[in-house]
Structure 1
């Protein structure tokens, strides 16, 4: 039976510096996959290690299936082995002198499971991860992706309440990472496993997660569905980190419900979605994804002319650098032909729904 996970006001402070985890709260319902996403040093792995019991929190509480497993204030600290967890790490951590079957069956040796039942479970999980035909091979004869599947199977075979995964695909080459990323969600959903997954890769988070939590400097900035994270970022950092790398600075001059009119200087104005409480006169930064800049079209309220200053043809798409309002922006256009030559003035259209206005607090929050 899989578990629910509840993390409440979790904090972890090491000897010096700011807290590694600073008041993080979230819940993972039974059968859901939650991904913690953020740059190196943001606190996501420390959070996962606190859930595992490998780090001792400074404050807050952690409950698994309603049972309190960590609460410094109450003197509760259940050891890792008593939390009924499975863990998959960056390194494969397989036993090199064993076969695939021996590796997968190892966790069952210390549990009171009949031999026939243990054999059945091993066969079942090997089929699940696609390794049935490799069962009797030495594990060192496998590829990196296959070894990571062994590690996953070993973590699933004893049917833990909760599965924790710490960047398990980061040591694989790009092609294997893509293949296993897609398979991993299918495997977890087939088992109904509740999972907490840590990564710095945005595409990985979107493919795997039912919900994504974006972290920075030990804090959880936003948690929501992939659609919400990508289309309603709560602040400029979340927008930048998830791919809205273009920014335009301006002044909000008018508010019309969920949208506002932004003056970009010299009387050039456009509309943007207001994703924070803002009012006329506020300085703003408008975040915009490269794929949401349409070159060669001039429709809607945000129709302008920009100069193409560079382009990079990539086969199935072309990335353009354009100059708009004195800013260098990146635009991405799908298709196998590069349509716009360098040096030309081209019409551009920016959907107001894809222009997100945030309060300007100085240098980009992403820096």
Structure 2
């Protein structure tokens, strides 16, 4: 599969603030790419540059080998000539137009009279289960219905590229899941090329063929969802995709240990960027990888054992989210309610607990600025042989 959409050296600044920093990106035809990251990382600005709604200071953008922006050539194709579909966070429906006319609008501006005559508007509405709403106005629709209409409007003209700017963030949890599933089904059915911006890792994993995790205007990791989940390339990525538990590690005389002095065997851990050669490191793991025990003799063979104190717990239906403290650091556990409800509800803050985890669940990263450990001196005999 050849790259159909390319971004090269894209740079966007606001005054002295660099928002997108020499960004390179390739998007395959039919691919659903998710730009994932926290507020201020540059993901929405990147999307707006693709749309032609922002003018970068440098770089180039090409759609299907057709340049739409090139700073060196002083080329900047306006947004209405880029053949894109856009789905906004705020729905952005025309309030004075019916649903029918909102969906028809992209066909009207492109002068696609034949598509209108052939029922493209009705077909697009039916795709998102809004066929019965065509004669209503946006004010007569729920938030979920408005966003589905916005999706239909973004797809009706069969654009080269569909851009989604956090389209689910204004919906409640139930509707968010429904519309997300509908977008996924539409992509599977129609095979359109899309770039989807979000700060929600669950949306990213559910929708993306590939994820681009962004930090300070750059891409920290660009990979398939399964690779990002299993093999985050940095502490930043690990923290952002759900490995919220962090353990500070240091090298002791007998090997690695936690900040509390508990020994920890990293033989089966996934270690990134020669972290094992440093004197300090940070380990990440997910809440559901940490087990809760009443006693140390309940710990599975081979697990790392930590003695902890209860901080708090929150009931979540089939699970509890339990916060404990060990060695001055807090860990969050997600444990089955059926197994731990009685013990937790009978516990008070500071109650002693035992937690454990498999070393294989750890992802270990070097601490920036920490130098690798010096090699052990080699003893040399009087004869000069090692």
Please tell me the root mean square deviation across aligned C-alpha atoms, in Å. 2.2
Task: Work out whether residues 252 and 280 of structure 1, in 8 Å CA contact, stay in contact via their aligned partners in 2.
Answer: no
Deviates more, 1:295-304 or 1:93-102: 295-304
Q: Tell me if 1:289 matches 2:286.
A: yes
Change (3 A) 1:221 1:253: farther
What pairs with 1:203-282 in structure 2 (closer than 5 Å)? Answer: 203-252=202-251, 262-264=256-258, 266=261, 268-271=263-266, 272-282=269-279
Q: Tell me if 1:25 matches 2:27.
A: no
1:277 and 1:286 map into 2 onto residues whose CA distance is: 13
Q: 1:352 aligns with which of 356, 359, 369?
A: 359
Change (3 A) 1:203 1:172: same
Shift of 1:323: 2.8
Identify the residue that residue 341 of structure 2 maps to in structure 1: 338
What SS class does the counterpart of residue 182 from structure 1 fall into? Answer: helix
Identify the residue that residue 383 of structure 2 maps to in structure 1: none
Deviates more, 1:341-350 or 1:235-244: 341-350
Q: 2:313 aligns with which of 311, 314, 323?
A: 311
Q: Tell me if 1:328 matches 2:322.
A: no
Q: Tell me if 1:74 matches 2:73.
A: yes
Shift of 1:247: 1.1
* Deviations 1:112-143 (CA, angstroms, capped at 9, x unpaired): 43457545111211111111122222332111
What SS class does the counterpart of residue 163 from structure 1 fall into? Answer: strand
Shift of 1:155: 1.3
Identify the residue that residue 92 of structure 1 maps to in structure 2: 91
What pairs with 1:25-174 in structure 2 (closer than 5 Å)? Answer: 25-114=24-113, 117-174=116-173
1:281 and 1:111 map into 2 onto residues whose CA distance is: 59
- TM-score normalised per structure 1: 0.90
Task: Work out whether residues 303 and 347 of structure 1, in 8 Å CA contact, stay in contact via their aligned partners in 2.
Answer: no
2:117 and 2:150 map into 1 onto residues whose CA distance is: 17
Shift of 1:320: 1.2
Identify the residue that residue 4 of structure 2 maps to in structure 1: 4
Shift of 1:31: 0.8
- TM-score normalised per structure 2: 0.85
Task: Work out whether residues 293 and 332 of structure 1, in 8 Å CA contact, stay in contact via their aligned partners in 2.
Answer: yes
Change (3 A) 1:300 1:60: farther
What SS class does the counterpart of residue 137 from structure 1 fall into? Answer: coil
1:201 and 1:281 map into 2 onto residues whose CA distance is: 33
Shift of 1:281: 4.1
Give aligned pairs, total.
Answer: 354
What pairs with 1:192-203 in structure 2 (closer than 5 Å)? Answer: 192-203=191-202
1:143 and 1:117 map into 2 onto residues whose CA distance is: 26
Task: Work out whether residues 306 and 322 of structure 1, in 8 Å CA contact, stay in contact via their aligned partners in 2.
Answer: no
Task: Work out whether residues 37 and 212 of structure 1, in 8 Å CA contact, stay in contact via their aligned partners in 2.
Answer: yes
2:306 and 2:108 map into 1 onto residues whose CA distance is: 69
